[in-house]
Amino acid sequence: MPEWVEDELGAHVSVAGGVERAPERARDIGSVNLQLFTKQPNRWAEPEISPDQADRFRGRRSECGLRVAGSHDSYLINLASPRPELHERSLNSFCRELERCVALDLDFLVTHPGNATDGDLDAGYGRNADALTRALEQVPGRTRVLLELTAGSGSSVGGSFEALAAILGRVSSGQRERLGICFDTCHAYAAGYDLVDDYDGVWSHFDALLGLERLELFHLNDSKHPLGSRKDRHEHIGEGTLGEEPFRRIMTDDRFLRIPKLLETPKGDDLVTMDRRNLARLRGFRAELGSGRVP
């Protein structure tokens, strides 16, 4: 089995003690990819990354042999908000997030598309796209922005492939090529995409509306709730309503072998045990291919 096939796996890791600690935590769980927060995700405070801190992070990333590293933006950001003050505050926060990612030389920034709290989803798509365009114009760099499919609860503007396509289509053509898609398996199942009984149909639909070339990251999470629940509650791999089979298929699907795949599953009592177990389970699905157990 080629060595690289296990090298697309990783997890969201803690930045306690500073972002420069994250690469070592990824290494501790046997991971070559990571996702982190560049700030406390439930606060508006916008810390800056000092040049020394950025140098330490990049140095430790190299020492730990990380291939892919990225961030997830603040939970407070709502780029689809109809409230002018919140929209502008969200845009400013998103720009600061993107600046920290560029300073750390991160590969991606995952963002939830937000909520049209006035109920006008179409206007929400436009507000989100306008904010993305402005942010990408203001903060150049190689960090890519990945729109994450959401569970589709409430007034979310990111809970369907159609919604993501609508946002992408309204971002200025000059900035659109810096955008991609993050596919969260828990969110997709909660939004009604049946990865259990219609795996091929889900991906045909994704390809038709978004194009598989836009798929740049997986969040691999099982779900505590059933298909179409619109509830975002993550579970350990194979222990939720998705079960093992969708993860087995993703791990052995030729189209997805090189796409980074990150855990956001519950951590448990420490920062390594459950991540190691979930990563081992995913690698076990891949190993089955080599043993002939998977068609």
pLDDT per residue, tens digit, the chain (295 aa), is: 233 334 799 999 999 999 999 999 999 999 999 999 999 999 999 999 999 999 999 999 999 999 999 999 999 999 999 999 999 999 999 999 999 999 999 999 999 999 999 999 999 999 999 999 999 999 999 999 999 999 999 999 999 999 999 999 999 999 999 999 999 999 999 999 999 999 999 999 999 999 999 999 999 999 999 999 999 999 999 999 999 999 999 999 999 999 999 999 999 888 899 999 999 999 999 988 766 555 4
From the CB of residue 147, how many other CB atoms can be counted at a distance below 10 Å? Answer: 25
Where are the domains positioned within the chain? 3-291
DSSP 115: B
d(CA 259, CA 261): 6
pTM: 0.95
Nearest CA among 147, 130, 234, 143 for reference residue 187 = 234
Residue 3 confidence (pLDDT): 37
Helix locations, 108-160, DSSP H: 121-138
Domain range 3-291, its CATH number among 3.20.20.150, 3.20.20.220, 3.30.450.20, 3.40.50.720: 3.20.20.150
Residue 268 confidence (pLDDT): 86
110 in Cβ contact with 183 (< 8 Å): no
Residue 293 confidence (pLDDT): 58
Q: For 111, list phi and psi in degrees, rounded to 5.
A: -135, 140
Numbers of helices and strands, H then E, in the chain: 10, 10
Nearest CA among 105, 57, 232, 50 for reference residue 159 = 232
